């Protein structure tokens, strides 16, 4: 084998290696993109399912919130009644102090 033939074989071998590396890299890139695309679709489907579940939960929370608003209104009524009883007790306490001063003739402090 002559030197030009050896250099020709080296060039052909180098070209074949670079073309194989390019071909394998391209195929690998396509496979990776396809797998990532499949993963993306699966994740999108899962997230859409979770969104649907959370929308159902939001509706449930709105119902519960409406019930608590009714309970809050009832507590406001109870608080108003307790305040009126408190005012009456303050009035009774004041009246008892006045009667005690009159009956026992104690000077005011």
Q: Band of the pLDDT at 108, cuts 50, 70, 90? A: low
Half-sphere exposure of 63 (CA within 13 A, CB side): 6
Per-position b or e across 7-45, b if 16+ CB within 10 A of its CB: eeeeeeeeeeeeeeeeeeeeeeeeeeeeeeeeeeeeeee
Q: Helix, strand or coil for residue 19?
A: helix
Identify the pLDDT of residue 106.
58
| Angle formed at CA 43 by CA 41 and CA 45, multiple of 5 degrees | 70
- Encode pLDDT of 72-93 as tens digits: 888 888 999 999 998 888 888 8
- pTM of full prediction above 0.85: no
3-class secondary structure per residue, 83-101: HHHHHHHHHHHHHHHHHHH
Mean pLDDT value of segment 23-50 = 93
- Of the candidate ranges 14-23, 61-70, 75-84, the one whose mean pLDDT is the lowest: 61-70
- Which residue, chain included where needed, has tokens 């969104």? 51
Identify the pLDDT of residue 32.
95
Half-sphere exposure of 11 (CA within 13 A, CB side): 6
């Amino acid at each position: 084998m002559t030197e030009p033939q050896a250099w020709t074989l080296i060039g052909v071998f180098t070209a074949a290696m670079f073309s194989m590396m390019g071909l394998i890299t391209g195929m690998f890139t396509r496979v990776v993109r396809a797998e990532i695309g499949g993963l993306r679709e699966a994740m999108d489907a899962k997230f859409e399912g979770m969104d649907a579940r959370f929308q159902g939960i939001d509706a449930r929370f709105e119902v519960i919130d409406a019930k608590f608003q009714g309970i809050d209104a009832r507590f406001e009524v109870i608080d108003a009644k307790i305040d009126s009883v408190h005012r009456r007790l303050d009035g009774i306490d004041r009246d008892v102090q006045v009667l005690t001063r009159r009956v026992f003739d104690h000077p005011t402090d």
